Structure 1
Amino acid sequence: MARKFFVGGNFKSNGTVASIKSIIDGLNNAKLNNSVEVVIAPPALYLLLAKEITGNGVDVAAQNIYNKGNGAYTGEISAQQLKDAQVHWVILGHSERRSIFGESDEFVASKTKAALDAGLSVILCIGESLEEREKGVTIDIVTRQLAAVAEQVQDWSKIVIAYEPVWAIGTGKVATTAQAQEVHAAIRSWLKEKVSAEVSDATRILYGGSVTDKNSKDLATQPDVDGFLVGGASLKPAFIDIINSA
């Protein structure tokens, strides 16, 4: 099955009105590969601005939701509110949410279910720490994270998986093409065994972790690498080259 290449840009907690307008202007005016699905995730404060001015086939994502609906949850954003604002995507399970804010596999899974139930599409992040990589338990970790989602979710059609080795995020280190392909192939094999062959064939698996315009072309050649989730480089003109690396 042909899987449409996907590139996400996670701005994290970066940006101002001026800088986000500048980034989006650059994307609007760029010649982007029209066979690539592109989604950018600015901070929540700028979601409506981004939604209003983003064109050129680029969509917008939130970086988080709470797992409950609307209610007395000060400071949180619900999936229903994103749906109302016509923000179609959300990033969930990012390692920074897991490590800094203590989000468990089960909590990430409950947020994934809440997003899907509201009609959103999810970029589901999984990945191992350097210590886990060195212990040789990478596959155990990423499949455990996926298994938590599988316990709560039946329909995977609106999930894109982003494999992001924690040791490669923002460090300048990057998994080799062989390392990335090995984990992506294991994820696809797990989906086939534990979910279904159809889901395994259809689900896009992204690589994230110090992706740049220098390494994206090689990574994109791997049969199970269906795109990228880009952090810091999504704030720079090089993001356009990464999009076009497909």
Structure 2
Amino acid sequence: MAQRPFIVGNWKMHGTRAMLSEARAIDRAAQRLMQVEIALAPPFTLIHPVRREAEQIGVGAQDCHPADGGAFTGDISAAMVADAGAGFVILGHSERRETHGEKDKLIAEKGKAALDAGLKLILCCGENQEKRDSGKATDHVLRQIKASLPADIEDPVERLTIAYEPIWAIGSGKAASVEDIVEMHTAIRAFLVKTFGEEDGAGIRIIYGGSVNAENAAEIIAGDEVGGALVGGASLSAESFMNIVLAVQEVIANRD
């Protein structure tokens, strides 16, 4: 049985307790839209409050440290975010790679720590405009995934999601074309099958992120090998986020 589309809201560095009303509204709406799996990744400070409010949606973290604990001022371990109520963590986002200088090896170490702490993993990958223009986008993304994956992932279908986010599309208001998304997701699928075997490799979800909104969500989700979306700015409002989910649910309903 195919997994439900996975729509994840990444709140990034946005959100105070005043935004809990948006999380509550998203959760209530999610209870009526069961054909789609919905989750939010708020900032660390809101993981526990959102988890306490949410009955239906998943709640995750936007990062974690690879160590279990220690003298790492300002950092948060995977065990800590799990204790706060997170069920997954987003790792390797281009904003961490670019602004914090995170390399593939560190991301793989973080991924192992997350899995060891019982968290699921959303692993991000994507190319910049230069790589896209040079025709090397696919090679770059596949190398990035290979180097960023933690070793020996048990039950990868349930515990691993790949998020393809072309850097040039994030926050730009311009999503990648459906043709480009499908081409990249198809290449990622082939890599996953080669890495994890036919059954597991075919079951791992590959989601798209980069200027997803209510106007383009249906077209993107209808593309081959697109198993959901990682949504940034449009997830900060329950209305705009759930309009994306509604568009996705309509695509699923039409398939049935």
Question: In which range does the TM-score fall when normalised by the shorter chain?
Answer: over 0.9
User: Could you list the runs of 5+ residues in structure 2 that have no partner in the other structure?
Assistant: 249-256
Name the residue aligned to 2:121: 122
C-alpha distance in 1 between matches for 2:198 and 2:62: 29
Name the residue aligned to 2:62: 63
How far does residue 195 in structure 1 lie from its aligned partner after superposition? 2.7
Name the residue aligned to 1:189: 190
CA contact (8 A) 1:205 1:225 kept: yes
SS at match of 1:171: coil
CA contact (8 A) 2:109 2:150 kept: no
SS at match of 1:140: helix
CA deviation map 1:66-112 (0-9, x unaligned) = 01112221111111112222311111000000000000011111111
C-alpha distance in 2 between matches for 1:153 and 1:76: 26
Name the residue aligned to 1:219: 220
**TM-score for both structures, normalised by structure 2:** 0.91
How far does residue 48 in structure 1 lie from its aligned partner after superposition? 1.1
Is 1:98 matched up with 2:97?
Answer: yes
SS at match of 2:124: strand
C-alpha distance in 2 between matches for 1:151 and 1:218: 32
User: Could you list the runs of 5+ residues in structure 1 that have no partner in the other structure?
Assistant: none
CA contact (8 A) 1:220 1:245 kept: no
**TM-score for both structures, normalised by structure 1:** 0.95
CA contact (8 A) 1:11 1:231 kept: yes
The aligned runs of 1:96-175 (5 Å cut-off) are: 96-150=95-149, 152-155=151-154, 156-157=156-157, 158-175=159-176
- Structure with greater proportional helix content: 2
CA contact (8 A) 2:8 2:230 kept: yes
C-alpha distance in 2 between matches for 1:163 and 1:171: 15
Name the residue aligned to 2:242: 240
The aligned runs of 1:199-210 (5 Å cut-off) are: 199-210=200-211
CA contact (8 A) 2:112 2:150 kept: no
CA contact (8 A) 2:163 2:208 kept: yes
Structure 1 residue ranges, 4+ long, deviating more than 6 angstroms after superposition: none
Name the residue aligned to 1:228: 229
Q: For 1:46, give the aligned amino acid.
A: L
Percent of pairs identical after alignment? Answer: 41
State how many pairs are aligned: 244
C-alpha distance in 2 between matches for 1:113 and 1:245: 34
SS at match of 2:130: helix
**Which of 191-200 and 119-128 deviates more?**
191-200
**Which of 29-38 and 115-124 deviates more?**
29-38
Q: 1:59 to 1:154 in 2, by over 3 A?
A: closer
C-alpha distance in 2 between matches for 1:245 and 1:108: 33
Name the residue aligned to 1:33: 33
